[in-house]
Structure 1
Amino acid sequence: MGRVKEEYRSLSGQEKAAILMLALGEEHASKMFALMDDEEIKEISQTMSSLGTISSNIVERLFVEFADQLSSTGSLVGSFDTTERLLTKVLPEDRVNNIMEEIRGPAGRTMWDKLNNVNEAVLANYLKNEYPQTVGVVLSKLKSTHSAAVLSLLPENFSMEVIMRMLRMEAVQKEVLDNIEKTLRTEFMSNLARGSRGDNHELMADIFNSLDRQSQDRFLTALEERNRDSAEKIKALMFTFEDLARLDNNGVQSLLRQVEKDKLALALKGSTDAMRELFFKNMSERAGKMMREDMDALGPVRLADVEECQMMIVQLAKELASQGQIVISEGGGEDEMVY
């Protein structure tokens, strides 16, 4: 009981309120949500969605604090799904979607707090397509260390334009600031939240990416017979070695610094001329010559070994992209995605 008492003492006020709302059930909790404003709902929803499993002993101690009697209650699980289901009982769908997208996104009470928690590479990738004046306003609202990190990742000419705008910047009208904040919320944060939400097809695409080529073909063929739409979605989401052609030169060079040279030689041995050229043009002349010599020295190679090395390099690229070290464009368009 001492441990339970200690755990209960460590709960914050928001955590206690969130546990209570979950314990009350949908009908009663929905009436309480109806009396709150959006900011209060966001705060308590954020806490509810990150509670995890709460023991029945903790719940009982909480109810004793709020009331004289409590018979018993089982453990509760606070998650995005349970929170969303509760909100749906009392709020319109568009309000629920907006609230859930915000709490799934980076933590922070205000939009500017949230932006301070967004990876600088992801934020720079979005801002580089905005007007320099707009970018200057955004950076002026962030922590100086975060603004500096974002600024250093923007194209040099563009970053100088932003700096000049910031030097000449006067007090920003509230209406302008509100419009920028609204755009960030609807266009950037909502996409970021949706991207982190995950999807069954994305999960299966990741799993299929880890299969050898023969197994991929076998499962996709079988799936096409049962559910052609799902098979097509998975194929569209799968990431192959050839998709690395969507990296820019900086991305290829970052990947080259991380990948094992013998693995790259084997992967390129079984790849197309275009893919080989992509990597060779981002190496020094000496490194490229050595890589070609290594590839020639390999002689005939097993397809399975080539595919295994290509798969390892693809996984490395996705890890670097998730860390914001490289950006993988969607191909052909201006929009880009970060895994």
Structure 2
Amino acid sequence: MTSEDAIETEERPDEAPKQLLSRVDRAAVFLMLLGDEEAANLLARLDPTELETLGSAMVAMGDIDQERIAEALRDFVNEADREILPAKDRSAQVRTMLERSLGSTKAESMMQRIEPEARPRSIEMARWLAPSVLLKLVEDEHPQVIAALLLMLEPEPAAEVLSALPEDVQSAVVTRVAQIGPVSSQAIGMIDSLLSQRIGASFGANTLTLGGPREAANLINLAEGEVARTVLPSIAQIDPALAEAIEDEMFTFEMLLELDRQAMGRLLRDVDNEALVDALKGLKEAQRAPFFASMSSRAADGIKDEIDMRGRLAKSEVEAAQRKIVEVARALADQGEIAIGSDDGEFV
């Protein structure tokens, strides 16, 4: 090896790695390394031109070897090393991102919740109110106002309010929901002021109801130690009905997903087939797996076929079926035949 070769060899580690991919290709590789949900969330933020460019690159790429994967990751790291994220105009940047993903109305409501200078407002209070209470607040208002408010609520309570409106108002509200477009901060301030006046004048301070047996049960389930074993007996001495209501809420259907195969099999022997189909209809495929794993393949295939053939179910129907199964599980737990939860504060 000549001295020139030695010098060239020594200098190679300092040379920039050869670029095998374009910037678009590197972005495509990085995106394909993400999970489907994370990738979908990022793609949803692109405009049509960006989406077409990146999508075309993803489709056109063949097998991607380790060297190209490393290049894509290295490019991401290099960009991160060079990048400075200034605090100036951060609120405007976040607002723009939220508007692209949520729309201007919901983005404005979210900004009011997350900006440091934000203060509790009646619109946020409205999100806690029962649909029947919300209806009384806005039933006499212009459909445009009702539409704007419903867009700031979660879909289910908003739908309940809509269902309770007169038919002619329903049509006007839905039309405006479909066409409303950008809502200015002044309009949102007007709705906030209106709600503040209505809440104070019509219902006073008692309209915002928080807590209940379910919230108490959630706290106990999440608490560490022996909270359930100490708190519930104490409550039962003062108010047995309340203790029972809390205990009912502490057994959740989600706990059944953690049962071992033997316990699940024992549970399924006592579960009505119709209730099981309705309960599983409301679950994702991965959540159904513990149930199917405890059945014979023939029985599992039969249940799957029934689920596929079952028509659309209301959420209340699914929850009622799941509650039936929870009641069966709780009875078996009381008899000592199965164990529900763990030994760190949940029931056994």
Shorter-chain TM-score range: 0.3 to 0.5
Greater Rg over alpha carbons, structure: 2
TM-score under structure 1 length normalisation: 0.32
TM-score under structure 2 length normalisation: 0.31
